[in-house]
Structure 1
């Protein structure tokens, strides 16, 4: 199964929206180019990049030259193609060093992954739009969900989305507008989903059994860096059969305990 944990809208759709609301369209274009090159398995030529992003080739070339000059993008003069350059790793490394979530969460992810025999991830929540995988631990079995660090997926999808809706300050109208754009294998109605959101708020965690991906159970628990503002989530995603063998209730409680401990650490609270 290829990249099942996230659905990303077409880059040109994201770019059009970003440029429309942005006061700095050049930055939006540069970000779109970096995302496109980051997702591509092969270096891309100017025409391919411009076509995918809906840019005028001359504008696209200007953006690419600026990114090459800043060492975020590499240009091969022989093939005339572009690829990400190591400069992006410097930015990522600085961010990861400053973010205590990764340092504290990784041992938790490793432990739960071994216990449940499932993929366990830590996600950074970016408002109501999307979330980004920032830490991951893969199970040792033959079935592994594709959950690479840096992958983006819609904020309200699956169990994690129910946590974001339950503990975020979003109106029902905002939630419905985003919900209507989601892609599920066997998704709930919006009314059913709202009921699940209320249950998530009451119990402190969310469960998705096969709605997002058939045969896969996802359990998520919220994490705070500042009380009142949801920042991250811990997520278990595995074959429903594997999660049931481990005991769904046990997985839920372990994830909730771990997320609570992690929130206390990040918020500087005493045990």
Structure 2
């Protein structure tokens, strides 16, 4: 996956919708505040945070004070603005130290990135809601397609989405409903996309040849942590023409093989 800010829904609107629909509003509000501050390039004031998330300022202040007390958010008394505090790193570090996927996947990502001059990602799958980038490796070329650790994308987008649709056991009605909300540079029809999903199921990996981002080819292969659940995916991203020159079939074979080997190491089945 790569960032496409000019075409993606505004993160603040997505967070506001999540807060509104939540059955645990206090938790959802706190999570929304943390995500908003994490995406912001500069500290934000109370009114700006409340406005972006559709919260009553007094409610927003209550959430912010609780997060400050827990050392997840920092408050600058001079500017009256809020930003993420180092406490969030503790949670991230603890999660990463217990997550075998990253330790096992990183050498594979580094090797394929160097061999095929592509950007490699490891993504964590959160049902049909979204995927999260948890590992990455870049080839070091001057022109790179990249994204940041922690970036979130709609679950069914690009090649990873085809894997989720192929192996997730979801109904056509559920998939079509989610598919209609996706944004592509060169959007396939649902029937075309469903045929590609079937091809993914047969061959064991997915390819997005310029649908998500024009001129960019994305490959993805599923990683299984248990026999019943696809938990992650390995993703390769490169310029379409360059991938053809650097051996696309060989990359497909190595990506699929790495995903199978990783699934075996994690205790799942490929």
Same fold, TM-score > 0.5, yes or no: yes
Q: Confirm or deny: 8 A CA contact 2:22 2:28 kept in the other structure.
A: no
CA separation in 1, counterparts of 2:129 and 2:9?
11
The secondary structure found in structure 2 opposite 1:230 is strand
Question: What's the counterpart of residue 10 of structure 1?
Answer: 11
1:80-159 aligned within 5 A: 80-159=80-159
Name the SS for the 2:197 alignment partner. helix
Secondary structure of the residue that 1:83 maps to in structure 2?
A: strand
Verify the 8 A CA contact 2:138 2:146 in the aligned structure 1: no
Question: Does structure 1 retain, via aligned residues, the 8 Å contact 2:226–2:268?
Answer: no
Map residues 141-220 of structure 1 onto 2, 5 A cutoff.
Answer: 141-220=141-220
Q: 1:268: how far off?
A: 7.0
> Residue 237 of structure 1 corresponds to which residue in structure 2?
237
Q: Report the CA distance between 1:13 and its aligned residue.
A: 3.5
Query: Which residue is equivalent to 1:55?
Result: 55
Q: CA deviation at 1:248?
A: 1.1
User: Post-superposition shift, 1:18?
Assistant: 4.1
- Contact 1:4–1:145 at 8 Å: present in 2 too? no
Q: Distance in 2 between matches of 1:197 and 1:178?
A: 14
Q: Compute the TM-score of the two structures, normalised by the length of structure 2.
A: 0.95
1:35 maps to what in 2? Answer: 35
1:19 deviation in Å?
3.6
Q: Retained in 2: the 8 A contact 1:68–1:74? A: yes
CA change 1:229–1:115 in 2 (3 A) is same
CA 8–134 in structure 1, closer or farther in 2 if over 3 Å, else same: farther
Q: Structure 2: which 5+ runs fail to align?
A: none
**1:156–1:9 distance in 2 versus 1, CA, 3 Å:** farther
- Whether the 8 Å contact between 1:4 and 1:146 is mirrored in structure 2 is no
CA distance in 2, matches of 1:125, 1:174: 17
Label 1:225 to 1:7 Cα distance change in 2 as closer, same or farther (>3 A).
Answer: farther
Task: Tell me the residue number matched to 1:267.
Answer: 267
Does residue 248 (structure 1) correspond to residue 248 (structure 2)? The answer is yes
Aligned residues of 1:8 and 1:154 also touching (Cα < 8 A): no
Once the two structures are TM-superposed, the CA of residue 242 in structure 1 deviates from its matched residue by 1.9
Change (3 A) 1:4 1:116: farther
**What TM-score results when the alignment is normalised by the length of structure 1?**
0.95
More displaced stretch, 251-260 vs 143-152: 143-152
**Structure 1 unaligned runs (5+)?**
none
d(CA) in 1 for partners of 2:180, 2:230:
22
- C-alpha displacement at 1:15, in angstroms? 3.0
Structure 2 distance, partners of 1:242, 1:4, is 21
Change (3 A) 1:30 1:77: same
